[in-house]
Structure 1
Amino acid sequence: MSDRWMSVEEIASHLGVSKDTIYGWIAKREMPGHKVGRLWKFKSDEVDSWVRAGKASDEHNDPSVGDVQGSEKRTSGGKR
């Protein structure tokens, strides 16, 4: 089953993190993923190796995309 391509939702579930976390890791060009058209696809064995190498646990990766989006919503929410 490890040779099957996984979606963002599936890899997030596999790792027990949110989709926002996955997109944040992709944006930093650290997480092994492959763009197929508009979609991101992942091989679980590549991602598992990446996690085992400690690349998902770097302290500078902790601020989540959701936190940034939340602050943007708060600052832009005042303007009408």
Structure 2
Amino acid sequence: MDSEFLTAEEVAEYLRLPLSTVYKLVQDKRLPGFKVGKHWRFRKDTIQKWIKDQESKNEPADEK
């Protein structure tokens, strides 16, 4: 994964999720991505920021 951009398949592998879940999350605007023609693309740094944001949402209030 040396590219700045990831495919949906690479995001699924990176997050260890089924590809169908990645498509559902991005279509529901819960995962940041954009379409190029009929293909989804994701910025690697945006996915990493999204992961950090998800982690902080799930921290107990006393740990923040």
Which TM-score bucket, shorter chain as reference? 0.7 to 0.9
Identical residues among aligned pairs (%)? 29
Q: Structure 1: any 5+ residue segments left out of the alignment?
A: 59-80
Moved segments of 4+, more than 4 Å: none
2:47 alignment partner AA: V
Tell me the number of residue pairs that the alignment of Structure 1 and Structure 2 aligns: 56
Alignment of 1:1-80 (within 5 A): 1=2, 3=4, 5-54=5-54
Residue 2 of structure 1: how far off its partner (Å): 5.2
Once superposed, what is the RMSD of the aligned Cα atoms?
A: 2.0
TM-score, L = length of structure 1: 0.61
Aligned counterparts of 2:52 and 2:3: Cα–Cα separation in 1: 16
Q: Structure 2: any 5+ residue segments left out of the alignment?
A: 59-64
TM-score, L = length of structure 2: 0.74
